[in-house]
Amino acid sequence: MTDRTADSVGTPESVDAILDSLDTDSLAGYNYAYLDEHTKREVRRSILSAIALPGHQVPFASRAMPLARGWGTGGMQASLSLLGPQDTFKVIDQGSDESVNAANIRRLAAKTTDIETTTDATAASIIQSRHRIPEAVLDEDQILVLQVPVTDALRRVDGSDDANRRRHAHRNYSKMWVALYENVVEYGEIKLSSRYPVMVAGRYLMDPSPIPRWDVPKLDDADNLFVFAAGREARIYAVPPHTDVEPLAFEDREFQVERFPGQACRRCGSTDTFLIEVETDDGERQYACNDTSFCQKRSASPALSKAHHREGDDHAWGPPTDPSISVPERSASPAGATADDAETSREEGDRR
Amino acid sequence: MTVLEASNLTKIYGEPCGECVEHTGPAVGDNQCPVCESVVACAAVDFELYDGEVLGIVGESGSGKSSLAELLALDSEATAGRVDDDAHDGNLLDADYQDRHELQNHHIGMVHQHVRDGLELDFSGGGNIAEKLLAAGWRGYGDIRSRVRELFEATEIPVSRMDDPTATYSGGMQRRVQIAKAIANDPELVILDEPTTGLDVSVQARVLDMFRRIQREQDVATIVVSHDLDVIRLLADRTLVMRHGRIIESGLTDRIMEDPHHEYTQTLINSVI
Q: What is the CATH number of the domain that holds A157?
A: 3.40.50.11310
Asked whether the beta carbons of residue B120 and residue A178 sit closer than 8 angstroms, the reply is: yes
Query: Is A78 inside any structural domain?
Result: yes
> Residue length, chain A?
352
Query: Is A264 inside any structural domain?
Result: no
- How far the first Cα of chain A sits from its last, in Å, is 35
Q: Are strands B238-243 and B54-59 parallel, antiparallel or unpaired?
A: parallel
Query: Is A265 inside any structural domain?
Result: no
Query: Is B112 inside any structural domain?
Result: no
Same domain, A43 and A162: yes
Same domain, B83 and B195: yes
Residue A151: what pLDDT? 95
Q: How many structural domains does chain B have?
A: 2
Same domain, A202 and A244: yes
Q: Which of A206, A224, A257 is the last residue of a domain?
A: A257
CA distance A175 to chain B (A): 7
Long-range contacts of A255-260 (CB under 8 A, 24+ apart): A255/A190, A255/A196, A255/A213, A255/A216, A256/A189, A256/A190, A256/A213, A257/A212, A257/A213, A257/A214, A257/A216, A257/A217, A257/A319, A257/A322, A258/A212, A258/A213, A258/A214, A259/A322, A259/A324, A259/A325, A260/A287, A260/A322
Same domain, B256 and B194: yes
Query: Is B113 inside any structural domain?
Result: no
Same domain, A104 and A228: yes
Query: What's the whole-number mean pLDDT along residues B14-18?
Result: 88
Backbone angles phi, psi at A75, to 5 degrees: -60, -40
pTM of the predicted structure, to 2 decimals: 0.82
Q: Which of A257, A290, A305 is the last residue of a domain?
A: A257
Same domain, A285 and A214: no
pLDDT digits (tens, 9 = 90+) for A128-170: 999 999 999 999 999 999 999 999 999 999 999 999 999 999 8
Same domain, B192 and B181: no
Q: Which of B186, B205, B228 is the last residue of a domain?
A: B186
Query: What's the whole-number mean pLDDT along residues A272-301?
Result: 92
CA distance A186 to chain B (A): 8
HSE-up (13 A, CA, CB side) for residue A156: 23
Same domain, B175 and B83: no
Residue B85: what pLDDT? 87
Query: Is A323 inside any structural domain?
Result: yes
Q: Which of A231, A257, A283 is the last residue of a domain?
A: A257
Same domain, B99 and B198: yes
Among the options A95, A231, A289, A318, which is catalytic?
A289
In which band, very low, low, confident or very high, does the pLDDT at A1 lie, cut at 50, 70 and 90?
Answer: very low
Same domain, A331 and A202: no
HSE-up (13 A, CA, CB side) for residue B233: 11
pLDDT digits (tens, 9 = 90+) for B164-223: 999 999 988 999 999 999 999 989 999 999 988 888 888 888 889 989 998 998 899 999
Higher pLDDT, B46 or B97: B46
Q: What is the CATH number of the domain that holds B50?
A: 3.40.50.300
If residue A197 lies in a helix (H) or strand (E), which one and from where to where? none
Same domain, A141 and A183: yes
Q: How many structural domains does chain A have?
A: 2
Query: Is A3 inside any structural domain?
Result: no
Residue B101: what pLDDT? 87
Same domain, B150 and B241: no
Nearest CA to B54 out of B241, B189, B197, B229 is that of B189
CA distance readout (Å), B172 to B168, B176, B184, B200, B201: 12, 6, 18, 9, 11
Residue A336 has pLDDT above 80, yes or no: no
Same domain, A175 and A310: no
Same domain, A251 and A170: yes
Same domain, A35 and A127: yes
Query: Is B176 inside any structural domain?
Result: yes
How many angstroms separate the CA atoms of A67 and A98, rounded? 17
Query: For residue B139, which residues of chain A lie inside 8 Å, CB to CB?
Result: 250-251
Same domain, A164 and A307: no
Interface probe, candidates B120, B141, B146, chain A, greatest A C-beta count within 10 A: B141
Same domain, A86 and A192: yes
Same domain, B47 and B162: no
Same domain, A283 and A187: no
Closest-CA residue in chain B for A175? B131
Same domain, B125 and B257: no
Q: What is the mean pLDDT of chain B?
A: 91
Interior angle at CA A136, CA A135 and CA A138, nearest 5: 115
Query: Is A14 inside any structural domain?
Result: no
Interface probe, candidates A178, A183, A184, chain B, greatest B C-beta count within 10 A: A178
Closest-CA residue in chain B for A184? B141
Asked whether the beta carbons of residue B139 and residue A182 sit closer than 8 angstroms, the reply is: no
Same domain, B23 and B102: yes
Structural domain that includes position A35: 31-257
Same domain, B21 and B51: yes
Nearest CA to A71 out of A104, A101, A45 is that of A101
Same domain, B264 and B239: yes
Asked whether the beta carbons of residue A251 and residue B139 sit closer than 8 angstroms, the reply is: yes
Query: Is A83 inside any structural domain?
Result: yes
Asked whether the beta carbons of residue B126 and residue A185 sit closer than 8 angstroms, the reply is: yes
Same domain, B127 and B207: no
Structural domain that includes position B167: 118-186
